[in-house]
Chain A
Amino acid sequence: MSTAAILKKNSKLFLPVLSMSIFLSIWQVLHWIIGGEFLPSPYQVYLEAMRMFSIKIGGNSVWMHIYYSLRRVILAYLLGAATGLPLGMYMGWNRTFDKVVKPVFEVLRPIPPIAWIPIAILWFGIGEGPKIFICYVGAFVIFVLNSYTGMRYTDPLLIAAARTYGATRRQQLFNVAIPASMPSVFAGVQNALSMSWMCVLAAELVGAREGVGYLIIQGMDMYKPPMIMVGMIIIGIIGASLAVILRRFERVVCPWRRDLT
């Protein structure tokens, strides 16, 4: 077997391992250049991770902190889907409704979720409320935008085809427009989860007693760069895992797209 063939056969395993090693090497080299105090080495971060997972931080294990963050994200995400998807779809389907709602939405949309933090604390106090609200805002906007786009760009020919079979307006909506918008909706479903996950950390950086964001703040307060970095890596790994889970889910729900990508 030629080298190329071996490469091809093992590329599923080989290439990710290769890219990881390059990443870790660059990190190690930067550690030497910048100095240990500001950029801990991968090994130091690994040791810190081992330590953190074996103790309680702020009264909770790391797993519990992850659980707190995930719980906020999932609650906010489900709320965002339940309100954002119907709103976006209806905006895409009904021109009049679109014209009424769009101007308000366009003004609210560019406000970053983080900018809502002060007002959210004012409204909901310092408990779970503001954190869930921030994540909700982030997810909601993306749910609306993607379901709107999906609906709006439904191939008019498919609607025409349904009409020639005598489909009522309602049947056109449920049997054509909604399924046709699913691929775009699913792009939103993934982005909304990433967005929600990013927002929870921002929210937790401000006055939380638990959550992955709290871990990072603890690392900062105790001046422990390795601890900050463990927190960051946990964020990355969980964010990536959530994306993988959703992609699996999309394949189940949109089987007609199985052969794409």
Chain B
Amino acid sequence: MAQRPNIKIECRNVSKSFVTEQYTINVLDDISLQVEENEFLVVLGPGQSGKTTLLNCMAGIIMPDAGQILLDGKTITGPGPDRGVVFQQYALFPWKTVMDNVSFGLYIKGVEKSKRNEVAQKYIDLVGLQGFERSFPHQLSGGMKQRVGLARAWANGPEVLLMDEPFGALDAQTRYAMEKETLSIWEKDKRTVVFVTNNVEEAIYLGDRVIVLSCMPGRIKSQYPIDIPKPREYTDPRFLEMRRKISDDTELSL
């Protein structure tokens, strides 16, 4: 018998709406989900489904109107280094070199320079950016920037990684490479991951489990455990079967 897995991060009845002068938009409606330790959970939803809002709530950047989010059973009250975020728009500090970007979290924690550079170097190597330590973000391509984003989040040693459509701004070729890269980093250095995307293939390729959100307001529509062993092949019949099932269930066109 397998041991009962640890629940790392959990949303309980989370709702969030944004109020403008004319109307109120319900973005998230009663979302409850649990993510096990070291699980790779993908939240799949069309634009406007509130998936980014959900992720920002988990990051503590915004607060839900109702419900709570628990990390190791404790309600979160704001952002913290126990959760690392990878942003779609990279959000790298343009005035910092790759090395200083990656070691930023450790710098905030007060880790001394030689130690934090050592850790940062490990993750720079892991994402394949050795030789670019002293480059500035504007000198890098989109894919390389997001590698810095991954390394920066990972290097800080968070318990949970929250990834907000991290490859959404990349071209298809780079995107495939980055998905592969992400899995290999995750295999080497396992963390609990919540990964948000609107891409079905990406969801099936990466996820241990895929949660599908409905649109406006965002509700959990269905869940799919993905049992295909990793690394997965896009042309594997089981992959295609899964893809058909989930696609039929999603309103991705908008």
Q: Which residues of A are in contact with B by a Cβ distance under 8 Å?
A: 155, 157-158, 160-167, 171, 175-176, 179-180, 182, 254-256, 259-260
A166, B91: Cβ atoms under 8 Å?
A: no
A176, B105: Cβ atoms under 8 Å?
A: no
Q: How long is the Cα–Cα vector from A160 to B104 in the complex, in angstroms?
A: 13
- Given A161-B87, A259-B138, does the pair A166, B109 have CB atoms closer than 8 Å? yes
B61, A160: Cβ atoms under 8 Å?
A: yes
B136, A255: Cβ atoms under 8 Å?
A: yes
Show 9 A/B contacts (Cβ-Cβ < 8 Å), sorted by A.
A163-B61, A163-B79, A165-B105, A166-B79, A166-B80, A175-B107, A176-B93, A179-B95, A180-B93
Q: How long is the Cα–Cα vector from A179 to B137 in the complex, in angstroms?
A: 15
A residues near B137, Cβ cutoff 8 Å: 256
A residues near B94, Cβ cutoff 8 Å: 180, 256
A157 touches which of B78, B79, B91 (Cβ 8 Å): B91
B residues near A254, Cβ cutoff 8 Å: 95
- Given A179-B95, A182-B95, does the pair A164, B59 have CB atoms closer than 8 Å? yes
- Having A161-B91, A164-B84, A166-B79, one finds 8 other A-B pairs with CB under 8 Å, namely A157-B87, A157-B89, A164-B60, A166-B105, A179-B95, A255-B136, A256-B94, A256-B95
Total number of residue pairs linking A and B with CB closer than 8 Å: 63
- Given A163-B61, A163-B79, does the pair A259, B108 have CB atoms closer than 8 Å? no
A residues near B80, Cβ cutoff 8 Å: 164, 166
- Given A157-B89, A255-B136, A259-B138, does the pair A165, B95 have CB atoms closer than 8 Å? no
Say whether chain B's binding surface is mostly helix, strand, loop, or mixed.
loop
A161 touches which of B85, B107, B109 (Cβ 8 Å): B85
Q: How long is the Cα–Cα vector from A258 to B87 in the complex, in angstroms?
A: 25
**B73 nearest CB across to chain A (Å):** 20
**A61 nearest CB across to chain B (Å):** 44
A163, A166, A179: most-surrounded residue (chain B CB, <10 A): A166
CB-nearest residue of chain B to A157: B91
Is B174 interfacial (CB 8 A cutoff)? no
B91 touches which of A160, A167, A260 (Cβ 8 Å): A160
CB-nearest residue of chain A to B137: A256
Q: How long is the Cα–Cα vector from A256 to B138 in the complex, in angstroms?
A: 8
Is B83 interfacial (CB 8 A cutoff)? yes
B residues near A260, Cβ cutoff 8 Å: 138
Q: How long is the Cα–Cα vector from A155 to B136 in the complex, in angstroms?
A: 17
Cβ contacts B134-149/A at 8 Å (1 or 0 each):
0011110000000000
A residues near B83, Cβ cutoff 8 Å: 164
Which residues B45-97 have CB closer than 8 A to chain A?
59-61, 78-81, 83-85, 87, 89, 91, 93-96
B95, A158: Cβ atoms under 8 Å?
A: no
Is B15 interfacial (CB 8 A cutoff)? no
Q: How long is the Cα–Cα vector from A259 to B136 in the complex, in angstroms?
A: 10
Q: How long is the Cα–Cα vector from A155 to B87 in the complex, in angstroms?
A: 13
B79, A158: Cβ atoms under 8 Å?
A: no
A residues near B104, Cβ cutoff 8 Å: 162, 165, 175
Is B156 interfacial (CB 8 A cutoff)? yes
CB-nearest residue of chain A to B88: A157
Q: How long is the Cα–Cα vector from A158 to B95 in the complex, in angstroms?
A: 12
**A222 nearest CB across to chain B (Å):** 53
B93, A179: Cβ atoms under 8 Å?
A: yes
A residues near B89, Cβ cutoff 8 Å: 157
B residues near A176, Cβ cutoff 8 Å: 93
Which residues B88-120 have CB closer than 8 A to chain A?
89, 91, 93-96, 104-105, 107-109
